[in-house]
Structure 1
Amino acid sequence: GARPLLVLFRALSTQGRGHSIWGQNRGVLQTPTALLHSQQGHIFEKLRICSMPRFVRFMQKTLTIKKNPEVVVTDLRFGTIPVRLFQPKALTSSPRRGILFYHGGGTVFGSLDSYHNLCSFLARETDSVVLSVGYRLLPEHHYPVVFTDCLNASIHFLKALKTYGVDPSKVVACGESIGGGMVALIMQALVGRTDLPQIRAQVLIYPTVQAINFQLPSFQQNQNVPFLPLDFMITCACKYLAIDLSWKEAMLKGACIPPGFWKKYRKWLSSDNLPRRFRSKLQQPETLAPFNEAAYLETKHIFDVENAPIIADDEVIAQLPEAFLVSCEMDILRDDTLLYKKRLEDQGVRVTWYHMEDGFHGCAVLFDQKLFSFPCSVSLANAVVSYIKGI
């Protein structure tokens, strides 16, 4: 159940604390094996051999990928961007649905391999052609590389749908965590593009849609819950956006938020917009620290729409395709999902919402991982399949 799992996660999150540029919390990965790799990576980082993220990504390459005899898998490159194509083997007399998939991992972890089983499952169960995008990661690549890689790969795919046997009227964009945030950004970037097929629907699995308000209830309730504790998340955000880590505290307390900005955008960013059952009397109220102009100047790109799709203009939001949003109770990004849900609905976008009481951040990547595949991982995958097959 959800509560015992939460107790386990909070126990894990207190283990192995130390010092690193990647945060003090070590319970950030998916399995005991991955946790060990994280610990080893921190040792190598302290010895100045290599960074922790680079070591973990190297170890991820040793993961066993499940081969599905019903799906043909092809590794390709769109320019410099590695992508992986999943095509059902069964013959068909008509073009198939297409799915663009952007993996999660906080711009630090995640790969084509680590989401291979999930993408293969989506291709088989929905009878779709799936394109998984292997965008470039930290520490070598910073903003806006993830966005531009995903956007460029998506445009390339959309221009070549006939080559891959895809029906131009049945393309779905799907992403998890930071990949879900990329879905939001790419859908907005494609608004008004008449030279490309229109995306039929968007699937956002516990997406990150802002790095402005870190005082939402879910940030307070789940700040030490693996696999995305708050300190690790904000460290990844700072690293990707090239913000010095000394400004983390100002970001957490809202000292970098200009009063005029908060007055204008609190209607979309404040916990006041959350359903009542997700707000607790025990939580600390949102209270911005006194405005720090220096902090603002060093972090001001967090207020760009390219990093906060939730603050896009109403005219853009209203033109987005229908959406399927997944939220998890034990996830610091739960409230991001709920706020973006309301943002879409307020502009007349059709939204289907799937909330998992026993869900936690990162459960999608654990799909079909045998011993470590939680029931919520299977439920999430099946819910996405059901939605896609129904459109």
Structure 2
Amino acid sequence: MAFLWLVPLLALPTFLLGVFLWVVFEHFRTTDVPSTLQHPAKLRFLHCVFLYVTTLGIIFEKLGICSMAKFVCFLHDRMGRKKDLKLVVTNLRFGTIPVRLFQPKAASSSPRRGIIFYHGGGGIFGSLDCYHNLCSFLAQETDSVLLLVGYRKLPDHLAPAMSQDCLSASIHFLRGLETYGVDPCRVVVCGESIGGGIGAFITQALVGRSDLPSIRAQVLIYPVVQLINLQLPSFQQNKYIPFLTRTFMVTNMCRYLSIDLSWRDAILSGAFIPPDVWKKYRKWLSSDNIPERFKGRGHQPRFPGPFNEAAYLEAKCILDVENSPLVTDDETIAQLPEAFLVSCENDILRDDTLLYKKRLEDQGVCVTWYHVEDGFHGSFILFDKKPFSFPCSQKIVNAVVSYIKGI
């Protein structure tokens, strides 16, 4: 009888070890870590851990235990929150939308700056707890009232849940600034990765709203501002670099937008883009707009591919401004507030930032651009994860804090 108990006890660690060895093999088979990155071994280790956790999550999902996303978020949220000795932190709900408010405890003789923060995570990861330490740090260091928005995500919620939740929460906050002690002339929208794309969209959506305070500035950290041209130089050069690979990005994009994955190649080649649409958008989305110094690595394939009408009918939602805010009209762009844009050299989304920078500057919008040569996607959230943070993580946080304090 005792022998029967030993079987599962031995099987479980064997299974876990087997999964880990498979993950390590997959990492070295499919991942590229440039030697120019600082601490490449650390990045490899963290990516293996990430793959290990997501792989276990996928197994649990197939067994009907829980979704992969919830498993990953559960583990990440257990990493611990730092005590907020100088802040009052309040969990609220704006309707059905969970938000977390960070307010400095110290008295202020005048209303404070306000920050609305939209977290990253590819529409599948990220939570209020996951971004708690980062937002706590930003609120303390900038002496600001910060609102962290917890929006609906995959796998339970599809488009346009994320942007709708963030827009609704932002409007609710802007209407009650006096309640939170926020100066209506100093409200900053801030977002990372997909949260940066949401921030760009919301800043555009609020243009011309006379019933609301105007946004003072937009801080977009390696944002997703277009899903149309996935053959930009950075998509070629960095498609295998953690933590946002091209496969992971396209898979999540298709799931969120309810596009069948069989159309993946048509989306990557741009075959879903009608010729007249590309003629209109080329001046904003072409690789010709990327400075030459960023084109050294990787080839430039023909883009877009031969038009496929069936692909267009399946994937035309990609062309919507809500999903690709870079292609909104010139009149809206020209009315946007000043921007602080962060790009990382080793990031698949680097060129999204470069294109949006040019788009804003062409319409007379003041842009401050901060480029991190040793940066990679996801480094921002690692700034306080000692000993797993990177020099680029602190650089980005310091740059963001410095910019916001100047407003």
One-letter amino acid matched to 1:182:
I
Q: Retained in 1: the 8 A contact 2:272–2:307?
A: yes
Per the alignment, residue 331 of structure 1 pairs with 347
One-letter amino acid matched to 1:170:
R
Per the alignment, residue 27 of structure 2 pairs with 14
Q: Retained in 2: the 8 A contact 1:88–1:129?
A: yes
Tell me, in whole angstroms, the C-alpha distance in 1 between the residues paired with 2:205 and 2:291.
Answer: 29
Q: Cα–Cα, structure 1 residues 105 and 12, in superposed 2: closer, same or farther, change >3 Å?
A: farther
Q: Cα–Cα, structure 1 residues 185 and 126, in superposed 2: closer, same or farther, change >3 Å?
A: same
Q: Normalising by structure 2, what TM-score? A: 0.88
Per the alignment, residue 232 of structure 2 pairs with 216
State the shift of 1:46 in Å.
3.5
Q: Give per-residue Cα distances to partners, 1:101-135, cap 9 Å, x unaligned.
A: 00000110011111111111111111000000000
One-letter amino acid matched to 2:138:
L
Select the residue among 391, 395, 403 that pairs with 1:379. Answer: 395
Aligned counterparts, 1:138-177, within 5 A: 138-177=154-193
Per the alignment, residue 40 of structure 1 pairs with 56
The answer for unaligned runs of 5 or more in structure 2 is 1-23, 31-42
Tell me, in whole angstroms, the C-alpha distance in 1 between the residues paired with 2:330 and 2:170.
Answer: 24
Per the alignment, residue 309 of structure 1 pairs with 325
State the shift of 1:44 in Å.
1.5
Q: Retained in 2: the 8 A contact 1:63–1:113?
A: no
Select the residue among 218, 223, 228 that pairs with 1:207. Answer: 223
Tell me, in whole angstroms, the C-alpha distance in 1 between the residues paired with 2:55 and 2:161.
Answer: 27
Select the residue among 146, 149, 152 that pairs with 1:133. Answer: 149
Tell me, in whole angstroms, the C-alpha distance in 1 between the residues paired with 2:45 and 2:230.
Answer: 21
Aligned counterparts, 1:192-203, within 5 A: 192-203=208-219
Per the alignment, residue 261 of structure 1 pairs with 277
Select the residue among 249, 252, 259 that pairs with 1:236. Answer: 252
Per the alignment, residue 207 of structure 2 pairs with 191
One-letter amino acid matched to 1:14:
H
Per the alignment, residue 270 of structure 1 pairs with 286
Q: Retained in 1: the 8 A contact 2:47–2:243?
A: no
Per the alignment, residue 360 of structure 1 pairs with 376
How many residue pairs match? The answer is: 372
Q: Give per-residue Cα distances to partners, 1:24-67, cap 9 Å, x unaligned.
A: xxx99966544432121122234343332222122223220111
Q: Retained in 2: the 8 A contact 1:174–1:183?
A: yes
Tell me, in whole angstroms, the C-alpha distance in 2 between the residues paired with 1:119 and 1:171.
Answer: 15
Per the alignment, residue 113 of structure 2 pairs with 97
- Kindly, what percent of the aligned residue pairs are identical? 68
State the shift of 1:241 in Å.
0.5
Tell me, in whole angstroms, the C-alpha distance in 2 between the residues paired with 1:100 and 1:353.
Answer: 20
Q: Retained in 2: the 8 A contact 1:117–1:367?
A: no
Q: Cα–Cα, structure 1 residues 217 and 83, in superposed 2: closer, same or farther, change >3 Å?
A: same
Q: Retained in 1: the 8 A contact 2:88–2:103?
A: yes
| In the alignment, structure 1 residue 77 sits paired with structure 2 residue 93 | yes
Q: Superposition RMSD on alpha carbons, in Å? A: 1.8
Q: Cα–Cα, structure 1 residues 12 and 260, in superposed 2: closer, same or farther, change >3 Å?
A: farther
| SS of structure 2 residue aligned to 1:168 | strand
Select the residue among 181, 186, 189 that pairs with 2:197. Answer: 181
Select the residue among 333, 336, 361 that pairs with 1:345. Answer: 361
One-letter amino acid matched to 2:97:
I
Pair member with larger Rg: 2
Q: Retained in 1: the 8 A contact 2:226–2:352?
A: yes
| SS of structure 1 residue aligned to 2:307 | coil
Tell me, in whole angstroms, the C-alpha distance in 2 between the residues paired with 1:370 and 1:334.
Answer: 26
Per the alignment, residue 300 of structure 2 pairs with 284
Report which stretch shifted further, 361-370 or 149-158.
Answer: 361-370
| SS of structure 2 residue aligned to 1:162 | coil
Tell me, in whole angstroms, the C-alpha distance in 2 between the residues paired with 1:281 and 1:202.
Answer: 30
Tell me, in whole angstroms, the C-alpha distance in 1 between the residues paired with 2:46 and 2:91.
Answer: 25
One-letter amino acid matched to 2:206:
L
Tell me, in whole angstroms, the C-alpha distance in 2 between the residues paired with 1:287 and 1:207.
Answer: 22
Q: Retained in 2: the 8 A contact 1:235–1:245?
A: yes
| SS of structure 2 residue aligned to 1:371 | coil
| SS of structure 1 residue aligned to 2:133 | helix
One-letter amino acid matched to 1:249:
D
Q: Give per-residue Cα distances to partners, 1:314-334, cap 9 Å, x unaligned.
A: 000000000000000010000
Tell me, in whole angstroms, the C-alpha distance in 2 between the residues paired with 1:56 and 1:35.
Answer: 10
Q: Cα–Cα, structure 1 residues 367 and 281, in superposed 2: closer, same or farther, change >3 Å?
A: closer
| SS of structure 2 residue aligned to 1:294 | helix
Q: Cα–Cα, structure 1 residues 354 and 246, in superposed 2: closer, same or farther, change >3 Å?
A: same
One-letter amino acid matched to 2:361:
E
Q: Give per-residue Cα distances to partners, 1:213-257, cap 9 Å, x unaligned.
A: 110000000101110000000111101101111111110111111
Tell me, in whole angstroms, the C-alpha distance in 1 between the residues paired with 2:209 and 2:284.
Answer: 26
One-letter amino acid matched to 2:55:
Q
Q: Retained in 1: the 8 A contact 2:27–2:48?
A: no
